[in-house]
Amino acid sequence: MTQQTPPPPAAPRLSLTEKASLTSGAGDFVTTAVPEAGIPAVTMSDGPHGLRLPKESGDGGQVDLHSAAPATCYPPAVALGSSWDPELAHRVAGALADEAASHGIRVLLGPGINIKRSPLCGRNFEYFSEDPLLTAEMGGAMVRGLQESGVGAALKHYAANNQETDRMRVSADIDERPLREIYLRAFERIVRRDRPWSVMCSYNAVNGTLLSENARLLTGILRTEWGFDGVVMSDWGAVRDRVAALRAGLDLQMPGTHGRSDAEVVAAVTAGELDESVLDTSVERLALFARRADEGVRTGPRMSVDEHHRLAGEAADRCVVLLKNERGILPLDRSNGSVAVIGEPARTPRYQGAGSSQVTPTRLDTPLDKLRELADGARVEFAPGCPAPGGEGEATAGAPADEAVRLAAACDTVVVFLGLSAADESEGFDRGHIGLPEDQLLLLERLVAANPRVVAVLSNGGVVRTAPWHDTVPALIEGWLLGQAGGGALARVLFGAVNPSGKLAETVPLRLEDSPSHLSFPGEEGHVRYGEGVFVGYRGYDAAAREVAFPFGHGLSYTSFAYSGPRVERDGDTFSVSVTVTNTGRRRGREVVQIYSSGPAGSTVARPPRELRGFVSVTLDPGESRDVAVGIPRGELAYYSARESGWRVEGGDYGIEAGSSSRDIRGSAVISVEGDPPGVALSGRSTIAEWLDHPVGGPLLMERFMAARAAAGAAAMENPTMARFLAGMPLEVVAEFPQSPVGPDGVAELTALAAAGTPAGDA
């Protein structure tokens, strides 16, 4: 149930100074209160995947990035996105809210829903996916889970915050169509549907204007178009000009500036440089925000630390992605044989990203300990092989590596843990490459030579290159960063206590150079050009027909699934796509069915070969079949027309595909869709093709051609080559041709008739 905004109670009149004080924080993570006006303070916390409880430093102090107390560390978004499970994200968010409320936290600074434009982004571990629909479903579920439990969400980072390089000032230069279809789409869906209490603006600029001062994005799009009625707060330190930011629609500057920016606001109002009504509007929103947070606190029994840890483990189970499993090497037999566990990450795991989202966990499960606990007759041996990622020294030769190779040769199966360190990926900087540490790769080569039964387990916050070495190992698991209970999840998957069902939420390329954004990331001289347009992630790989290591949506299971369909039925403006899924294997398992669409033939804009339109999961026993369905509203097939300043559905036949990944398509269908009428009036500058495509202008123009069939222009239109030649010409140019069926005087006449909606034959 969505919580309603409480009505504003009667309050004393605020002075100008009090009003200004509300528009900036009273401390590092707390807003300003005006008790006599009934406006309480709101305490916030970093926490996309767990609380980093703030230590308020007080006046004149510095923010302490260490958590004030332990809290449950759930799988970060990089892992949670691979669950493709919004219901799970909803439950995790409810548990986060429960924990936040117990510490007096009223607003959680998350979720982060920025798109993974490049695999190099150092903060990709905090984001869900390269796809806006999957991002919106997972992020929206978290917003609902938080707010239904009485804790506000701060949706971030709005907008186009897709890199850490020069993040405080870089301008993301983006054409309008990719801005709307890719980078704003998840924000739009969540704002319209899930009504977050607040939105956090990012540091960067978009097309030359800082987000904190960007009236078009903060007011024109966010509030006027999407109907957002909450508070816009800044990222910490994102405001350069408090008065300009307030005028643009930013309500709350964080953290506090000890009164400096408040005084600037007072001075601007006093001098007549800022209309006080602008300040009043923000103050009204901030007062409602504070009262909503104060009244939303949930009372009653709370989950225990043990229950939270169990949920963190259940979530981690869903996030593990089985990338490869040849010869049925997995699951391992826990009742017999021997397993050589190699790699320091098995003993000292990396389970979260570095930066402002770091959580002090309540406990930490290690893969090595959990493998030993689960083994019931199997012998589990360990050798570090390499130092922990980011550690000192080489381990490709000498005692550590030699010991690991000897152990591998002496055991039935090798499980080697590979990964990155916080020094490789973190908030604040981007990666320079996507490779694993060289010492790990050299050790892996020696291990495979000693024992070909090698299972590789990855631990990383961003995509790593697996080619060409993934061809040398029979099994590969993407373990991402799995939170404090991730060690148990990996052990359960390896020994088969859990059947993996995770699916990649981003493409794993063969090479960094194959990434669609490669040639324009991270930009230069303060600007980054989003030159790939809408062809982000799998959209770009598919459009360029590039081979990839593992495609978007890929993830194997210890069982197998067969599809029948898709079948498409239409109910009003919604297409219902149904698929019959059958478990054809020997184990109970969960499959995520993905529905994609392709644009109509002859589209007037560049379209990706396929775009995700929906997904649904189904859990089946061996031999069981079940029908699942995904609804696709007609409007979801629209592209954003910069010329028409709005969404437009093209008419024609669209392909509908059902698949287990973006490149494992199990069935297809075709739907016919009627197009939207053009939103731009015809004129002499409109091309012949645009005239002919218009429902009124097309028949009018054709009537003129038919009436002058003997004219040169008409004959030209009947010649296919000449027709294509003329199609791109403006009507006013064609009108100048000798013997044109539409002379210069006829252009204005036809334009007026088309604008009036006069059909052919009545002209």
Residue 35 to residue 512: CA distance in whole angstroms: 55
Q: Which of these, 127, 217, 131, 201, lies nearest to 167 by C-alpha position?
A: 201
235 is catalytic: yes
* CB neighbour burial string for 385-414, b if at least 16 within 10 angstroms, e if fewer: bbbbbeeeeebbeeebbeebbebbeebebb
Adjacent-strand bridge partners of 31: 25
Contacts of 679 (CB under 8 A, 6+ apart): 641, 644, 645, 646, 648
Which stretches within 694-738 are classed as H helix? Answer: 697-707, 712-718, 720-727, 731-734
- Residue 722 structure tokens: 């000449």
Token pair for residue 445?
A: 């080569």
Rounded to 5 degrees, φ, ψ at 168 are -75, -15
**Cα-based distances in Å from 421 to 115, 458, 465, 476:** 22, 12, 15, 19
**Torsion (CA) 392, 394, 395, 397 in degrees, nearest 10:** -160
Among candidates 39, 145, 173, 127, which has minimal Cα distance to 87?
A: 145
Determine contact, residues 338/381, Cβ cutoff 8 Å: yes
DSSP element (H, E) containing 215: helix 215-215
d(CA 261, CA 29): 17
- What is the spatial distance between Cα 478 and Cα 125, in angstroms, rounded to a whole number? 13
Number of C-beta neighbours around residue 710 at 10 A: 9
Active site residue: 194, 235, 430, 439, which one? 235
Cα–Cα dist 417/404, whole Å: 12
CA torsion angle 190 195 197 203 (round to 10): 30
Q: Which residues of 269-307 are buried (b: 16+ CB within 10 A; e: fewer)?
A: beeeebeeebbeebbebbbbbbbbbbebeeeeeebeeee
Phi, psi of 689 (to 5 degrees): -60, -40
Q: Quick check: bond before 331 cis, omega within 30?
A: yes
In the block, which residue shows the tokens 């036809």? 750
Are 505 and 134 a contacting pair, CB within 8 Å? yes
Instruction: Report how far residue 533's alpha carbon sits from residue 644's, in angstroms, rounded to the nearest whole number.
Output: 18
- The three-point CA angle 737-739-742 to 5° equals 75
- Measured between alpha carbons, how far is 201 from 184 in angstroms, rounded to an integer? 12
Q: How far apart are CA 61 and CA 30, in angstroms?
A: 14
Phi/psi at 86 (5° precision) = -60, -35
Q: How far apart are CA 487 and CA 347, in angstroms?
A: 9
Burial class (CB in 10 A: 0-12, 13-18, 19+), 483: buried
Helix (H) or strand (E) holding 22: helix 16-22
Q: Would you name the residues annotated as active-site residues?
A: 235
